[in-house]
Amino acid sequence: MGQPCTCVPKKGGITVIKNEHDELIPTRTITGHRMCVDYRKLNSSTRKDHYPLPFIDQMLERLANHQYYCFLDGYSGFFQIPIHPDDQEKTTFTCPYGTYAYRRMPFGLCNAPATFQRCMMSIFTDLIEEIMEVFMDDFSVYGSSFESCLANLGRVLQRCEDKHLVLNWEKCHLWLEME
């Protein structure tokens, strides 16, 4: 028997609306819904993977010495990682329409962040600290000149294509120049 699931509003960016007093109020927009499965029982019996996440302060130090940047965002990050067929039944959930299991890694599994970071480090291992930094599904590509940043971006995008890693272009920011 699978775990029950619920749907919660998925919050997007921030917009400004006027309230009844004509005041401008920043408000998070709802961009859809996200399905949530309670995996506490599965997580309590899962051997924990303590793969470390990078230290943000060290990444920022390495990024600070460059003039040009591109920021890329992985599309539905965890969901790009396939689950081994033998483990798919462990993700079983029920809803009014039936019982289902994930074929790709969902949010809520205790080892999902470690698994995802390990995959990203493996994919970009030779590029990290040379032309880019990786934190989960956020990729920072840099260069000391526009041309070098463009070349570095090309290498990262080619690697994404080679590894079938999909990016969310709505969240990507290209060609930021620092003075």
pLDDT tens across the length of the chain (179 residues): 677 778 888 777 778 888 899 988 888 777 777 888 999 999 999 999 999 888 989 988 888 888 999 999 988 888 889 999 999 999 999 888 889 999 999 988 999 999 999 999 999 999 999 999 999 989 999 999 999 999 999 999 999 999 999 998 888 888 776 66
| CA dihedral of residues 173, 119, 122, 72 (deg, nearest 10) | 0
Angle at 33 between CA 139 and CA 37, to 5 degrees: 85
- 105 and 90 Cβ atoms separated by less than 8 Å: no
Residue 6: which of 35, 31, 32 has the closest Cα?
Answer: 35
Write down the pLDDT at residue 110.
94
Distances (CA, A) of 172 to 53, 97, 122, 167, 175: 22, 36, 22, 8, 10
Which backbone phi and psi does 177 adopt, to 5 degrees? -110, 130
Structure tokens given for 19: 């309230």
Structure tokens given for 83: 């689950």
pTM of this structure: 0.78
Q: Which CATH number fits domain 49-177: 3.90.1720.10, 3.30.70.270, 3.40.50.2000, 3.40.630.10?
A: 3.30.70.270
3-state secondary structure of 77: helix
